[in-house]
Structures are given as C-alpha cells and as structure tokens.
Chains A and B, each alone.
Chain A
Amino acid sequence: NAGVMQNPRHLVRRRGQEARLRCSPMKGHSHVYWYRQLPEEGLKFMVYLQKENIIDESGMPKERFSAEFPKEGPSILRIQQVVRGDSAAYFCASSPPGQGQNQPQHFGDGTRLSIL
C-alpha cells in the first residue's frame, strides 16, 4: 500500500494517560500535516512538518500536544495527560516536496482516539 499509513486505527486511553499517533507519509513525500475532526465538526488543521522541522503549528493547542517528524521513521503526534475533549479522529496528510502550496494533500484513514 503506497498510501499514507496511520496507526493505530483505534486507540483507547484513560484520562491522564499519553496518546501517541503515528503517520508514515506516501513514498517520496516529505511534507506532513495533522488535522483533527471532532464529532459533528469539520476537520481542523493542527500542524505542518517537514523532515526534522515544524513549519506551522498555529492550529495546535499550546499545552499537552506536540508533533515531530524525525529524519528516520514516521511522524508522531503526541498528546500528554489526555482529557475527554481530546476524543476525536486524527488525520494525517502528506504532499510531495516542491511548490507545496500547489500540491494536493493525500490523507490516511485516521486514528480514532477515545478517552475513557
């Protein structure tokens, strides 16, 4: 499967635990985006990364949330001390290098995070 791969597909955590969501971009893609879809809401941008760099994190909550895209391995979205309001579907998208604004974004199947 050459598409964007996200895992796990479903993740259940108790309040106060940490959640780690992984995203492997499409082959050849070096730009990664994270979005969150809350129940009954549209998708909201969280963060945009290139390899080893956070380019735009304007949509990321200031506390408890962090993201990285290391030189090797998948991009990780990390949520510390989760709360019920973090329950949502988290989607990762990727696009190829060069003229990033003109390139389509390709999405993974998402991680459904449920907080007990």
Chain B
Amino acid sequence: KQEVTQIPAALSVPEGENLVLNCSFTDSAIYNLQWFRQDPGKGLTSLLLIQSSQREQTSGRLNASLDKSSGRSTLYIAASQPGDSATYLCAVRSSNSNSGYALNFGKGTSLLVTP
C-alpha cells in the first residue's frame, strides 16, 4: 500500500526566503506525482505534475523534483511571498495497485510566510 509522507508538517519563514518542502513515498512504482496548493476552506489548485520519466518541472518561482528510485520529491519555492501562505499537498498516482487512477495524498505542509 502506498504511503505518502510530507515533512515538515508546518513551516514559518520570513518573506523573501527560499524554501524546500519534502515529500516521500514508499512504493516507487508510480505514474506521476502532483503538487497542490490548498487555501483554508478552499479546494485544491494543481501546481506541478511530474511524470515518472521526468526529473523535474518548473513553473514560475516553483520547481519540483522527483527521484523515483528513492521515493522522494521536493517542492522548491523561490523568493517566498505572503501570498504563498497555504497548505501544500503532495499526491502520488501508483501504477502498482488495483487502480492506477487514485491519487494518494500526504497530509500536507502548512506554510506561513510572514511580511
């Protein structure tokens, strides 16, 4: 059974800092990994999708890497801003399961960027 863990559970940084969020998963047989942002009381916004054959994806100030063999992904946020404050979720789509359709989520990292 795929287990997804995110460290740290919470993070507070001053504005302008670069930061790294970590995600690990137990089964390396995956189709892809997706990073989301969730604002309080809101839905999920997809940030980046990395296919299993890819090593990284970039969008603006965000860069996500994937090391499938070691079961790790990182989300790098450059020059953080207060508007980046949210919960960041990592989700893995396993290929070694009855269904390759479900996303397996971590519990998230709650990020606070202070002015």
Contacts and interface: CB of A to CB of B under 8 A. Distances in A.
Is the interface on chain A under 10, 10 to 19, 20 to 34, or 35 or more residues? 20 to 34
Interface in B26-79: 31-32, 34, 36, 41-46, 49, 51
Given A106-B46, A107-B43, A109-B42, A48 B102 contact: yes
Contacts of B103: 33, 35, 43, 45, 93, 105
Interface residues of B, number: 28
Contacts of A58: 98-99, 102
B105 A56 contact: no
Contacts of B4: 42
A91 interface: yes
Contacts, number: 70
A108 interface: yes
Nearest to B91: A43
Contacts of B104: 45
Contacts of B41: 112
Given A91-B43, A107-B36, A109-B43, A101 B101 contact: yes
Nearest to A40: B107
Contacts of B108: 42
Nearest to B104: A45
A45 B95 contact: no
A48 B44 CA distance: 18
Interface in A1-58: 4, 6, 31, 33, 35, 41-45, 48, 55-56, 58
Contacts of B95: 101
Nearest to A47: B102
B100 A107 contact: no
A102 B32 CA distance: 7
6 contacts: A41-B107, A42-B105, A43-B103, A101-B93, A102-B31, A105-B34
Interface of B: 4, 31-32, 34, 36, 41-46, 49, 51, 89, 91, 93, 95, 98-108
Shortest Cβ-Cβ A-B pairs, 6 listed: A45-B102, A109-B43, A107-B44, A56-B99, A101-B31, A43-B105
